Amino acid sequence: MASKRCTKCGAEKPPNEFHKGKGPDGRVAKCKQCRRVERVRRSTTPTVSGRSRRSVEHLQRLEELKATAAPGMKVCSQCLETKPLSAFHNHAGFPDGKGAWCKGCMSAAQKPKRHEFTLKHRHGLSVDEYDRMLQLQAGCCAICRVTNPGTVHGWFVVDHNHATGVVRGLLCGRCNLGLGQFEDSSDRLVAAAQYLRSRQGD
């Protein structure tokens, strides 16, 4: 087949200007350029939920980077960084078998969802309830008052009574570990404080 007519723009173009597909000739009906224009239009139209879309500039830059990516490398459609294929999760829906977002961007995007899931299923809290608790604590740990949670996931830890499950407050990682090491015993904590005070001059 010397050429193929695009059903969108009507132009006659070489077969390699059409993506492979399930058509009679093994190619899709619309040329690559028309499909690219449609993709940009869809990507810049606000979603029903109001979530922001990528800008035209972002998508144009993505196409430019993809065109210059070396073999074995892939451009993350989120952060626009060119990374080895090993930096992407497997995904059968893409020609190279790898997803569009790198592992780092995927993890960052899923972080709020993991936080919401943990709050709901482990502590019976909603994100709004967590935020209200943190606001009442002035945005800091209920014990040491630091504003940096110091945790891997970046959230303050929900402290709860391990016997009853009742939520007590939000703690930084160190204070939460400290209570755990002292097995939530107020007597041991008071004794530890007295011990430290008695040896301040040592």
- Residue 16's SS3 state is helix
pLDDT at 49: 42
- Across 43-52, average pLDDT: 50
| Mean pLDDT for the chain overall | 88
Other beta carbons within 10 angstroms of residue 179's beta carbon come to: 19
Query: Is the pLDDT confidence value at 108 over 60?
Result: yes
Q: 93's torsion region: left (phi>0), alpha (psi -120 to 50) or beta?
A: alpha
Cα-based distances in Å from 135 to 80, 113, 118, 120, 130: 35, 21, 19, 19, 9
Question: Among residues of the chain, what percentage have pLDDT more than 70?
Answer: 92
User: Which contacts qualify for 2-6: CB closer than 8 Å, 24 or more apart?
Assistant: 4/31, 6/30, 6/31, 6/34
Question: Among residues of the chain, what percentage have pLDDT more than 90?
Answer: 55
pLDDT at 202: 64
Q: Is the separation of the CB atoms in 81 and 75 below 8 Å?
A: yes
Confidence of residue 50 (pLDDT cuts 50, 70, 90): very low
The pTM of the full predicted model, rounded to 2 decimals, is 0.55
- Across 185-189, average pLDDT: 93
Mind listing the pLDDT tens digit for each residue in 8-44?
888 999 988 988 888 888 899 998 888 877 776 665 5
Going by DSSP bridges, is the β-strand pair 157-160/167-171 parallel, antiparallel, or unpaired?
antiparallel
Q: Is the separation of the CB atoms in 198 and 190 below 8 Å?
A: no
Confidence of residue 48 (pLDDT cuts 50, 70, 90): very low
Tokens of 54: 């990528």
Give the helix/strand (H/E) hosting 111: helix 103-118
Give the helix/strand (H/E) hosting 136: helix 127-136
Tokens of 162: 């391990």
Other beta carbons within 10 angstroms of residue 76's beta carbon come to: 21
Of 45 and 201, the one with more pLDDT:
201
Mind listing the pLDDT tens digit for each residue in 152-180?
888 999 999 888 889 999 999 999 999 99
Query: Is the pLDDT confidence value at 45 over 50?
Result: yes
- Across 51-71, average pLDDT: 84
pLDDT at 109: 85
Interatomic CA distance for residues 187 and 200, integer angstroms? 20
Q: Which residues contact 179 (CB under 8 A, 6 or more apart)?
A: 159, 171, 189
Query: Is the pLDDT confidence value at 137 over 60?
Result: yes
Q: Is the separation of the CB atoms in 12 and 4 below 8 Å?
A: yes
Structural domains of the chain, ranges and CATH numbers in brackets: 1-42 (no CATH), 55-105 (no CATH), 125-198 (3.40.1800.10)
Interatomic CA distance for residues 3 and 17, integer angstroms? 9
Query: Is the pLDDT confidence value at 123 over 60?
Result: yes
Confidence of residue 53 (pLDDT cuts 50, 70, 90): low
Give 183: exposed, middle or buried? Use CB within 10 Å, 0-12, 13-18, 19+.
exposed
